[in-house]
Amino acid sequence: MDKIIRFSVSLPEKLLEELDKKVDAQGYASRSEFTRDLIREKIVKDDWQDDNSDVIGVLTMIYTHHQNELVQKILEIQHDAKIHIMCNTHVHVSHENCLETVMVTGKVPDVKDFAQKIGGLKGVKFCKLVEASIPAS
């Protein structure tokens, strides 16, 4: 376990009251845990601004599998991508629609390019990339 360092932060009273409301409403054990989550979130966001960062992403898509050659095009994009595909899930939501998630790692521009190529295909009804990375701790 990492060594815990204590430091103090000065806040205006009203901002501290808002912080305490968030801590309570979201079920955090403490202000410290809430603050750690905010810092981690900022680090992840910053990682996605750096083209040299290795990041993790989850691409969620809904598409009609009856669209001509759509599944083949999705597979070709996956095979040709400059990223590492860690896992892929595929669920038949209805007779017409499939829900698929693709968990990937790679450099920021490559992951974004992968998501944009799939999202732009005819027959893809929804496509969203969840941006993540692993903060130091």
Sheet holding 97-107, edge to edge: 84-92, 97-107, 54-64, 124-132
- Which ranges in the chain are annotated with CATH 1.10.1220? 13-48
Give the per-residue pLDDT at 137: 58
Binding-site residue set:
79, 90, 92, 98
Give the per-residue pLDDT at 49: 93
> Residue 136's pLDDT band (boundaries 50, 70, 90)?
low
79-114: per-residue pLDDT in tens? Answer: 999 999 999 999 999 999 999 999 999 999 999 999
End-to-end CA distance of the chain: 10
Query: Domain 54-132 belongs to what topology?
Result: Alpha-Beta Plaits (3.30.70)
Residue 136: name the closest of 40, 27, 4, 62 by CA. 40
Binding-site residue set for Ni(2+):
79, 90, 92, 98
4-22: per-residue pLDDT in tens? Answer: 899 999 999 999 999 999 9
pTM: 0.84
Residue 93: name the closest of 71, 125, 62 by CA. 62
DSSP letters, 4-60, are P--------HHHHHHHHHHHHHTT-S-HHHHHHHHHHHHHHHHHTT-TT-EEEEEEE
13-48: CATH number? 1.10.1220
- Which ranges in the chain are annotated with CATH 3.30.70.1150? 54-132
**Residue 11 one-letter amino acid:** L
Report which DSSP code applies to 70.
H
